[in-house]
Structures are given as structure tokens and as C-alpha cells.
Amino acid sequence: MTSRRTEELFGFWGAVFELFRIALRAILSSKMRSFLTVLGIIIGVLAVVAVVSILQGVFASFLSQFESLGGDTLFVRPNYEMFKSHQEGVRRLKMTYEDALAIARDVSQVKEICPFLMRTDTIAYHGRNDSTQIIGTTESYPQINSFFPEQGRFLAPMDVAARRKVCIIGQDILDKLAMPLQSLGEEIQIGRGTYTVMGILEKKGGSFGQSEDDQIFIPLPTAIVQYGQDAANSIFIEVQVRDAQKMDDAVERISAVLRREHGLKFGDVDDFRVFTRDEILKIIKQFTSVSTLIVGAIVSITLIVGGIGIMNIMLVSVTERTREIGIRMAVGAKRIHILYQFLIESVTLSTLGGVVGLGCGTGVAHLTVFILRKTVSETFPAAFIPYWVVLLSLSFAALTGAIFGVYPAVKASRLDPIDALRYE
Amino acid sequence: MTTVDSEILIQATDLVKDYPMGEGSYRALNGVDLTVRRGEFIAIMGPSGSGKSTLLHILGCLDTPSSGRYLLAGTPVHSLAPDELAGLRNREIGFIFQMFFLLPRSSAVENVELPLVYAKLPPSTRHHMALDALRFLNLETHAKHRPNQLSGGQRQQIAIARALVNKPSLILADEPTGNLDSVTSGNIMGLLKKLNEMGNTLILVTHEQDIAAYARRQVRIRDGKIVSDEVIRS
Ligand SMILES: Nc1ncnc2c1ncn2[C@@H]1O[C@H](COP(=O)(O)OP(=O)(O)OP(=O)(O)O)[C@@H](O)[C@H]1O
Ligand SMILES: [Mg+2]
């Protein structure tokens, strides 16, 4: 009873293991050729894994950035998409501090409102020069963005009202300008202006592209004075509403106020866009699905190119091993044994290719991030390989081997034993 | 089955084999009748191209006749499908070839194991059986050698071990000494004779009279027909 069990068990798994062993021996007996055979699969899987893991890293950090944006927050900016080019939009559209004040005044749903503008500018302290992102904003910024000072204070209403030349700096600025830890009251140069440091922000860590620690905050009216009319016309506005359930009402009211302020007539297109968190997440998801589509296309090409390579070599291999097939048939191998032998060989080969591609792809992704960090941005998000990419790429590799291995395997199994033995 | 019938291992009647040749076909066997009892040792002789190998392949279930009947231990081989033939070869037949036909990448013991792999025996069982077969031929010290590390005679002995290992009812040898020198040939023939004396049924194809002399019955074939069939008295 027991021994029959083991024999039955051996029947299936033993046979698979046996064929796997035979396959491995055949593959390893000509390593270079096996490598060249699966090169297509290796490169395909490598490309997919590298692209996906870099994109996934970016998405993950992007998403985490917007997670801090609450469900009760919305975001208004000029509708650049109405023009053919972004530059034209920047030139022709207006969104001003006054718009923000009008919203604050006329929309009852608003709990907090935070207008801001962003500029990149040079900074200097005791002869050290660098550049960073300057954000002109108001005292509402910390509340909406949950980003608070560690030392000193953030911008006060008086700083904004009196256009004071004061600034709040991020942690990275201390390093960039080699400032002492106790830097409150120090004076730094931002572009043409001299500003007094009133606060130092808590460390927030890296995020997509730009670190939030590599920023300097100054009062919005001061920024408008320093950066001029262009800056004054491209204000972005963040709004926190009283009731997240009534988000749609708030969006409607804000749109009405802005249309009135901008003098739009009935039928004119909105020259601004309002984003809620849900909408931003939707856009990110769309982007994700587009990139999934691209990855899918790469995978399909891999499947075909890699598969044809495998089929080609497996056909050669069947021809070269005709004698072996004849010998196996002569001692009792059935067609199905030969079929599975070659099928398992091509699946093993392509899966090994998938594993190599996965390893190389991971390496390439990390290397790319490393290089991007050195050249583009120090805070470029780390590559991230979700488990589904591992599963998917390996199963696609295996599937390729299976699909394109069928024809050579069938061809091998259909050989006549005598013809196969006679084959020279 | 009666006792008399059970003694008969092979009953071939009017075997015909046609090979397609261009437009028509070439008749390699032209009505062969052959009856073999268990325990016989037969040499099939005849000139080159007379159809000896063709007959042996049919008897060994490697090929099927174009017409005629072939019963092996009562099984109607002429009507079997390829996979049924494979099963029959695996259980009932041991084949020895002139060119040895060993797997070059496998060791001696793995080559001997091969029929047992397709008999679905567990690895340890078949390994032991293969080693037993090698030991019987005094070759267990060469179990781990690959074919290209062995002499021609040793290779043929490995092939004989492979033919024996599944304890077949019938051992077939197609010019087994054709690639060997005369001393080694003598050793191989001595071995085959010993197998016959142990009760195995053997059919051997050869050109050479002194090889055929080891057998107890000689069948001569010419142009696809049996021209003589005589028992040798020793
Ligand atoms: N696959 C085939 N296709 C066509 N003709 C074949 C085929 N196999 C064998 N023949 C022909 O059948 C005839 C008998 O061949 P067979 O191999 O049985 O001869 P043989 O008696 O074994 O000869 P030898 O002693 O040279 O080995 C030969 O004339 C050969 O040309
Ligand atoms: Mg022959």
C-alpha cells in the first residue's frame, strides 16, 4: 500500500523531476549557446523589470506625497492645458494673490487658504553660494501641509502684511550653505535680497524629484516684489475646506468666484483648474495604467522575439539530438515522454533566462537611480520592485518557453524510432 | 493459453515490408514466416541489403510490417499504435546495436538505467538494478564513466547491460560485433551465449559464419525471403 503510494507519487513528480534533470544537463552542457538562446528573454525581462521598478519607485513616492494632502484639500492653478505650449500658458494666464483673497472672502466653505508661488533662485551665506527652490506663501502653509518649524517660527501674519524680508529654511539649506546649527537671526542672500532666518523646518525627507527639505519660504508679497509681475500672475492656491463631504460644493463656489474675478463670460472655458486629492490620485492612476500598457507592449515583444529565439534553437537541438531521441524511443520512451522532455527543457531554459533578466533588471534599475541621484536629483526615489513584477516576468518567461517550445517538442515526439536511430 | 502455445514467443506470418521509393516502393521483406520458441538462440544471416535489419526491427517492435501478422507472446504487434509499441519494447525487448547507441552525455550506469526510467521505477530501485546488471558483466568499476571514456568492447557491454536490465523476454542484436576486433568479438559472443544458457531468447544478425556459429539455429535470408532455416547440432 505504502510502496504503491510512493510509486504513484513518483509517477508524476518523479517524472517531472527526471525531465528537469535531463533538461538542466542539456542546458549546462552548452552554456554559451543556452545563454545566446535566451538572450532575447533576458533582455526583455531586464527592460521590463528596470522600467517598472523605477516607475514604481516614482509612483510610490508621488503617492506618498499626496497622502499628506488630506481629503479635505484642493488645489487651484492656471489652466495651462488650454494653450498649445506650457510657456504660452504661463505668459497669457493670470492667477493672483487677489484671486486667493477673493476666494477667502466669498467662499464660506473655506477653512484655510494658502496661495503660493515657486521660483528657483541663488542663495548665499558667508561667501558660500548655491541655489534652491524659493516658495513665497502665507502663514497658512504649515497647517494645510502639516509641515512645521523645528526651531523658531513659521511666517507670521505680520511678515506677510508688512512684506518683511524674513525666511524660514529647510534642513538641507543648513548643509548647503554650511550654516551653524543655531542659525536663527542669521542673514542670508536670496537672489538680490537679504533675508533674516526666522525659523528652521523639521526634516521631512526625500520626495519626488525635489526634497521638501531643500526649500526656503518667504512672505508671498515680498516674493512678488522680488520676482515681479510674472511671478505675481502665476500664483497657485491650496484650499482646505470645512467639510470634506461637501468638496463638490466648494469646488463649484471657488470656480464661480474665479470666473467672476477673471471676467469670464458664459460659455468661456475656465482659465484655471481645480484639483482635489481624488482627482490627483485619478491622474496618477491613469499615468500608471498608461505605463502598464507600455510595459505590456515590451512584454509582448519579448514574448515574441525571445520565443522565436528559443524555438529556433530548440529546433536545431531536436535535429542535433535525433540520435538521442531514437535511443530513448528504442528503450521504451513514449511520444509524450519525448514531448515533455523538450518542452520542459525550453521552459527551464526560458525561466532561467527570466531569472537572469530579473537579476540584471534589478541591478540596472538600482544603477540608474544611483546615476540619476548623482546627476539629476539627489532625492530621486529608490527603485521599487513589487512582487507582482517578479511573478509576472517569471511566468511570462516560462510561458514563452512553453508556447514556443511546443512545436519543436511535438516535432521531436513525432519522429520514427528507426529514422531517428539511422540519422547521421 | 495452452502450455504448448506459451512456449512459442514469436509467431510471424507472411511479413511484408515496403519502403516508399520515389513514385513506387521497394519491397525489403517479401513474405517472411518465422516461429521462435522461448530459450532459442538464432542467427539471421544473408547478404547486405537482404532485409535482415528490417526483419529484426519488426521483431523488436521498432517498426511495423506493411502486411502480415506478428504475434509476440500472444500480443498482435502488427495492429499496435506507436505508444503501445514503445511500452512493449520497454517491457519485452532488449536491443543491442552495431553502433552501441549509448547516450554520450550520460554515465555508463545512467545509460543502463534508461529503460527503467521509462518503466517509471523510483531512482533508487533502478540504480540498484542497473548496478546489478553492470556487476553481472564485471563492469561496476566503470559505472561512472562516460561512453567516450570506454573501449568499444566495454561500450558494447554497457549496451548489453542496458538490454538485460529490464529482464526482457527477447534480446535482439544487430551485428553486435561489427565494430569490434576478433578477440573482443569472441568475448561479446561468449557473453551472449552465456545469456542464452541462462534462459534468454536471443536473435542475432550477422554476416560472419564464425559469429553465427555461436547460435543454435541459423536462418538465411535473401531478397527479403527466408531461403534456409536449420538447427545446428553441436
Ligand atoms: N528507410 C528506408 N527507406 C527505403 N529503403 C530502405 C529503408 N531501410 C532499408 N531500406 C532498403 O531495404 C533493404 C533492406 O535493408 P536492410 O537494412 O534490412 O538490409 P540488411 O540486410 O540489414 O543489410 P546490411 O547487412 O547491409 O545491414 C535495402 O535494400 C535497403 O536499401
Ligand atoms: Mg543491417
This complex has an ipTM of 0.95
CB A124 within 8 A of CB A192: no
pLDDT above 50 (res B63): yes
CB A349 within 8 A of CB A401: yes
Per-residue model confidence as pLDDT tens digits over A38-55:
998 998 889 888 888 888
Hey, what amino acid is at B139? L
Task: Give the angle subtended at the CA of A215 by the CAs of A211 and A218, to the nearest 5°.
Answer: 155
Average pLDDT, chain B: 92
Instruction: Find the range with the poorest average confidence among A22-26, A235-239, B50-54.
Output: A22-26
**Sign of the torsion angle spanned by Cα atoms A403, A408, A412, A415:** positive
pLDDT above 50 (res A5): no
| Residue whose C-alpha is closest to residue B68's, from B116, B9, B128, B18 | B18
Q: Which residue has the higher pLDDT, A303 or A124?
A: A124
Give the separation between CA A337 and CA A324, rounded to whole angstroms: 13
Give the separation between CA A154 and CA A160, rounded to whole angstroms: 11
Q: B86 and A335: CB-CB below 8 Å? A: yes
Cross-strand bridge partners of residue A187: A196
Strand, coil or helix: A206 = coil
pLDDT at A373: 84
pLDDT above 90 (res A157): yes
* A58 to A48, A54, B96: CA distances (angstroms): 15, 6, 66
The shortest C-alpha distance from B84 to chain A (Å) reads 8
Per-residue model confidence as pLDDT tens digits over A346-371:
999 999 999 999 999 999 999 999 99
Instruction: Find the range with the poorest average confidence among A9-23, A307-321, B173-187, B197-211.
Output: A9-23
Q: Can you give the length of chain A in residues?
A: 424
Per-residue model confidence as pLDDT tens digits over A72-103:
888 898 888 888 877 888 888 889 999 999 99
Q: B118 and A11: CB-CB below 8 Å? A: no
CB-CB neighbors (< 8 A) of A421 in chain B: 62, 97, 101
Q: Rounded to the nearest whole angstrom, what is the distance from the C-alpha of residue B87 to the centroid of ligand 2?
A: 24
Per-residue model confidence as pLDDT tens digits over B168-210:
999 999 999 998 999 999 999 999 999 999 999 999 999 999 9
CB-CB neighbors (< 8 A) of A323 in chain B: 101
CB B6 within 8 A of CB B166: no
Residues 6+ apart with CB under 8 A from A359: none
Give the separation between CA A351 and CA A386, rounded to whole angstroms: 19
Residue of A nearest to B54 (CA): A418
Mean pLDDT of A245-270: 90
Best interface-test mutation with A: which of B105, B124, B174, B175 has the largest number of A CBs within 10 A?
B105
CB pairs under 8 A between A and B: 66
The shortest C-alpha distance from B56 to chain A (Å) reads 11
pLDDT at A7: 47
pLDDT at A203: 86
Q: Which residue has the higher pLDDT, A60 or B34?
A: B34
Rounded to a whole number of angstroms, the CA Rg of chain B reads 18
pLDDT at A1: 37
DSSP tag of B65: -
For cell 536511430, the residue is A421
CB-CB neighbors (< 8 A) of B95 in chain A: 330-331
Mean pLDDT of A363-382: 85
Measured from CB, residues less than 6 Å from any atom of ligand 1 are B 19, 21, 26, 28, 46, 48-54
Per-residue model confidence as pLDDT tens digits over A277-287:
777 778 777 87
**Phi and psi at residue A159, in whole multiples of 5°?**
-60, -40
* A73 to A243, A249, A281: CA distances (angstroms): 10, 13, 13
Residue with the smallest CA separation from ligand 1 atom 12 is: B28
Give the separation between CA A339 and CA A347, rounded to whole angstroms: 12
* A222 to A163, A238, A290, B222: CA distances (angstroms): 5, 19, 41, 115
| Residue whose C-alpha is closest to residue A131's, from A188, A208, A181 | A188
pLDDT at A72: 84
pLDDT at B234: 64
The shortest C-alpha distance from A9 to chain B (Å) reads 10
pLDDT above 60 (res B108): yes
pLDDT at A22: 84
pLDDT at A59: 79
pLDDT at B29: 96
pLDDT at A205: 67
| Residue whose C-alpha is closest to residue B142's, from B96, B107, B117, B105 | B107
Q: How confident is the model at residue A248 (pLDDT cuts 50, 70, 90)?
A: confident
Q: Can you give the length of chain B in residues?
A: 234
Q: Rounded to the nearest whole angstrom, what is the distance from the C-alpha of residue A237 to the centroid of ligand 2?
A: 94
Give the separation between CA A390 and CA A275, rounded to whole angstroms: 35
Q: How confident is the model at residue A143 (pLDDT cuts 50, 70, 90)?
A: confident
Cross-strand bridge partners of residue B225: B222
Q: Count Cβ atoms within 10 A of the Cβ of residue A354 and give its class: 0-12 exposed, 13-18 middle, 19 or more buried.
A: buried
Q: Please, what's the b/e burial string for A224-252 (b: 16 or more CB within 10 A of its CB; e: otherwise)?
A: bebbeeebbbbbbbbbbbeeeeebeebbe
| Residue whose C-alpha is closest to residue A144's, from A218, A63, A70, A200 | A70
CB A423 within 8 A of CB A326: yes
**Sign of the torsion angle spanned by Cα atoms A377, A378, A379, A382:** positive
| Residue whose C-alpha is closest to residue A96's, from A236, A211, A200, A303 | A236
Q: Please, what's the b/e burial string for B149-161 (b: 16 or more CB within 10 A of its CB; e: otherwise)?
A: ebeebbbbbbbbb
pLDDT at A210: 58
CB A124 within 8 A of CB A265: no
Retrieve residue A199's grid coordinates.
525659523
Q: A331 and B102: CB-CB below 8 Å? A: no
Mean pLDDT of B88-115: 94
Per-residue model confidence as pLDDT tens digits over A97-108:
999 999 999 999
pLDDT at A286: 81
pLDDT above 80 (res A292): no
Count of CB atoms situated within 10 Å of the CB of B197: 10
* A182 to A126, A147, A149, A199: CA distances (angstroms): 15, 20, 14, 10
Q: Count Cβ atoms within 10 A of the Cβ of residue A290 and give its class: 0-12 exposed, 13-18 middle, 19 or more buried.
A: exposed
Task: Give the angle subtended at the CA of B229 by the CAs of B225 and B231, to the nearest 5°.
Answer: 165
CB-CB neighbors (< 8 A) of B162 in chain A: 331
Q: Which residue has the higher pLDDT, A74 or A166?
A: A166
- Helices (H) and strands (E) counted in chain A, each on its own, are 16, 10
pLDDT at B1: 41
Q: Rounded to the nearest whole angstrom, what is the distance from the C-alpha of residue B216 to the centroid of ligand 2?
A: 21
- Helices (H) and strands (E) counted in chain B, each on its own, are 8, 10
Domains detected in chain B: 8-231 (3.40.50.300)
Residues 6+ apart with CB under 8 A from B44: B52, B55, B56, B203, B204, B205, B206, B219, B220, B221
pLDDT above 70 (res A9): no
Retrieve residue A256's grid coordinates.
464661480
Best interface-test mutation with B: which of A331, A337, A414, A415 has the largest number of B CBs within 10 A?
A331
Q: How confident is the model at residue A393 (pLDDT cuts 50, 70, 90)?
A: confident
Q: Count Cβ atoms within 10 A of the Cβ of residue A191 and give its class: 0-12 exposed, 13-18 middle, 19 or more buried.
A: middle
pLDDT at A6: 47
**Sign of the torsion angle spanned by Cα atoms A23, A24, A27, A29:** negative
